[in-house]
Amino acid sequence: MRSKLKALFLRHGWRRRQPLLDDARGDAGIGTLFRTQGIGDSHLLRLSNCIDVVDGIQLTKVTRSDAPSLVKHLNDIEFYDNTCSIPHPYTTSDATIFINSVLDFEKEHGLQRDWAIRNPEGEQIGGIGLLYSHGMKSHRSEIGYWLAKTCWNQGIMTSVLMRFVEHIFSMTHFSRLEAQVFKGNDASCRVLEKAGFHREGLIRHAYLKEGKYLDTHLYAVLKPSSGRNSVSSL
């Protein structure tokens, strides 16, 4: 983990915006996408083909042919500002590094960590994934997500998130899903609230990015049978 981050930093960090945390912790994060651990994983999510969301929007596996769409949509400073894992400018090399990390993870563990959000034409217009941020045997995980700017404010991510949460709770042992949102990212807070997540508090100085401490709102949703504030109570 650390060596991968270090390699990324050495390649890009000094001359472009690379969203490495200053302490390079590599644990829970807003879109920390490179974490892997050894596991006994019989209870985790096997590779699934396709999750239908709404109006032809689907969640499917990330493939090598998604690189151009990733560059087209993620090369925007707002994605860098609101996450810990998306560099700026976002290049083909960044897309390739990400796709390789997804495919390596799937090959190593036989599990799905990342899903491409696709429009009815099959183009990748976003992403959502589990971060396995508390270890792969844990009952809880942080999630991360993004959507192409041309698709914002149409309710797409709310629909995706609701379907994703339902899928994860029905197919895995996870009983708690969490999201951390940088203070000021009101659209993401709103999406989480619409999808049934509850705001549990403000984590002060949660991240150190570019020499500045950043606070995050902590959101979580519980599996319906596992307690109050779950999706079933909405």
Ligand X SMILES: CC(C)(COP(=O)(O)OP(=O)(O)OC[C@H]1O[C@@H](n2cnc3c(N)ncnc32)[C@H](O)[C@@H]1OP(=O)(O)O)[C@@H](O)C(=O)NCCC(=O)NCCS
Residue 160 CB, shortest distance to ligand X, in Å, is 8
Residue 54 CB, shortest distance to ligand X, in Å, is 11
CA distance 103 to 112: 9
Indicate the helix (H) or strand (E) that contains 134.
none
Q: Are 207 and 213 within 8 A, CB to CB?
A: yes
CA distance 103 to 26: 19
Which region, judged by CB under 6 A, interacts with ligand X, from 14-22, 106-114, 140-148, 198-206? 140-148
Select 32 or 82, whichever has its Cβ closest to ligand X. Answer: 82
Phi first, then psi, for residue 83 (nearest 5°) are -135, 170
Question: What is the footprint of ligand X within residues 74-103 (CB under 6 A)?
Answer: 78-79, 82-83
Q: Are 18 and 9 within 8 A, CB to CB?
A: yes
Interaction between residue 36 and ligand X (CB under 6 A) = no
Binding pattern to ligand X, positions 141-170, x when CB under 6 A? Answer: ----xxx----xxxxxxx------------
What's the token pair of residue 105?
A: 């993870």
The residue ranges that bind ligand X (CB under 6 A) are 30, 78-79, 82-83, 145-147, 152-158, 179, 181, 185-188, 190-191
